[in-house]
Amino acid sequence: MAHLYIHIPFCLSKCSYCSFVSYPGLEHLYDRYINALMTEMRMLTSVYEPQPLDTVFLGGGTPSLLSVENISSLLHSCRERFEIKAQAEISMEINPKTVDFMQVLSLKNCGINRVSLGVQSFIDTELQRLERIHNAQEAWDAVESVRNAGIANINLDLISGIPGQSVDSWRWNLQSAIALNPNHLSLYQLSIEEKTGFFEQFAGGRLPLPDEDEIAGMDEVTAELCRSAGYNQYEISNYARPGFECRHNINYWLNEEYFGVGAGAVRYLTGERIKNIEDPLLYCEKMERGESVVKESESLGPEASFRESVVMGLRMVEGVSSERLLSRYGIDLQLYYKETLEKLLELSLLEFHKPYLRLTAKGRALANQVMADLV
Ligand code: SF4
């Protein structure tokens, strides 16, 4: 079973918190970039034996800026290179500003069966602060368009901890999202990343971030509202109705292999993690000349990969299976971590219900600290 990520590095403008590989003002490259992606898929599948795809994920950037013809050609080429399983999850990230009913209907006909909408907030002043290109009404309209077009598998992305946000405004945001009845919610806490607009404002002391107590209050609201609306938390930031967990992302957290194509994309195949160059123009030029687009690669030995699997697996609420680790790496989790594990269990940051080692609620709040001890 295989998984494919396709990166679309284009946006209409740059949001103030964004550190993703995404660039505005490159409309002239769209067609060329699609051809380059097709070339990379062809090159990859001539080197690596492609297994049938269980998931395909078109992420970005803003994939919904591309024309339906572009997406259709891309998925067509994907089907030529890989077998896509009949029940495959085929996701696409959509910005609420860039979508309408007819477009989603066409995307559905191309095979898209899961849509992830980058809503981030239902409050216009918060959206303006994030420098999003859409407003709250457009987010509501987008959900309606996606659902009316017949795509029921919908994720909404929301951000908590936005500058100026209160516990009450977060509650209102989450209630608004739940009222739209999506199957999946990705609820990320804002982090301030280097080389972003927010980073500069933060460094200059001009960013009124919610304090620790307010963040804790928002976390309580999240737990309470999601539980009562029937969304199970299955990863630190992800909640789903039963059966609607994102299979593509679960594969990452299981630290299993995947294909990745596009500028800035990462792939993990035959034990090697490879990252592509980020510049979309250079990516196109190199692909047109049949040259490598690899920026860096890393081969993990079994022990490093084992530790990585532990840390990534602990992001999931279910935890990491010691049996799975033993059969994959031949390493016994308890023997390997010994005192470190005992200490974390004693501090009630981790719990071990064989075969699963998982973070406790207290451990989830201090997840970075726990991971640092295990990495
Ligand atoms: S839409 Fe997404 S990828 Fe594009 S700039 Fe905003 S946060 Fe970044």
Q: How many helices (H) and strands (E) does the chain have?
A: 15, 17
Q: Determine the Cα–Cα distance for residues 244 and 11; give it in Å rounded to an integer.
A: 28
CB of 59 within 6 A of ligand 1: the answer is no
Is residue 66 lining ligand 1, measured as CB closer than 6 Å? Answer: no
The ligand 1 atom nearest the CA atom of 61: 3
Ligand 1 contact, 61 CB (< 6 A) = yes
DSSP letter for each residue of 183-209: SEEEEEEP---TTSHHHHHHHTT----
What is the distance in A from the centroid of ligand 1 to the CA of 93? 11
CA–CA separation, 310 vs 323, rounded Å?
Answer: 12
The vertex-365 CA angle with 363 and 369, nearest 5°, equals 65
Convert 330-361 to b/e letters by CB count within 10 Å (16 or more is b). ebebeebbeeebeebbeeebbbeeeebbbbbe
Mutate to test the pocket of ligand 1, among 11, 121, 195, 199 (most ligand atoms within 8 A of CB): 11
DSSP-assigned beta bridge partners for residue 238: 186, 235
Ligand 1 pocket member 276 (CB < 6 A) = no
Q: Distance (Å, rounded) from C-alpha 353 to C-alpha 46?
A: 43
Pocket test of ligand 1: the residue of 7, 26, 62 to mutate, having most ligand atoms within 8 Å of its CB, is 62
What per-residue confidence (pLDDT) applies to 313? 97
Using the mean position of ligand 1's atoms as its centre, give its distance from the Cα of residue 133 in Å: 9
Dist. CA 96–CA 7, nearest whole Å: 18
Segments of the chain with pLDDT less than 70: none
Ligand 1 centroid vs 265 CA: distance in angstroms?
15
- Ligand 1 proximity of 116 Cβ (cutoff 6 Å): no
Does any ligand 1 atom lie closer than 6 A to the CB of residue 133?
Answer: no
The H-assigned helical ranges of 204-294 are 212-229, 247-253, 280-288
Residue 1's pLDDT is what? 81
* Nearest Cα residue to atom 3 of ligand 1: 61
Contact yes or no for 99/92 (Cβ under 8 A): no
As a whole number of angstroms, the distance between CA 189 and CA 168 comes to 16
20 within ligand 1 shell (Cβ under 6 A): yes
Report whether residue 22 contacts ligand 1, using a CB cutoff of 6 Å: yes
Q: Measuring from atom 7 of ligand 1, which residue has the nearest CA?
A: 18
Task: Note the pLDDT of residue 365.
Answer: 85
In angstroms, rounded to a whole number, what is the distance separating the alpha carbons of residues 83 and 58?
17
Kindly state if the Cβ of 60 falls inside 6 Å of ligand 1.
yes
Strand 266-269 versus strand 272-276 pairing type:
antiparallel
**Residue type at 77?**
S
The residue whose C-alpha atom lies closest to atom 6 belonging to ligand 1 is 15
**Ordered domains of the chain (ranges, CATH):** 2-253 (3.20.20.70), 318-374 (no CATH)
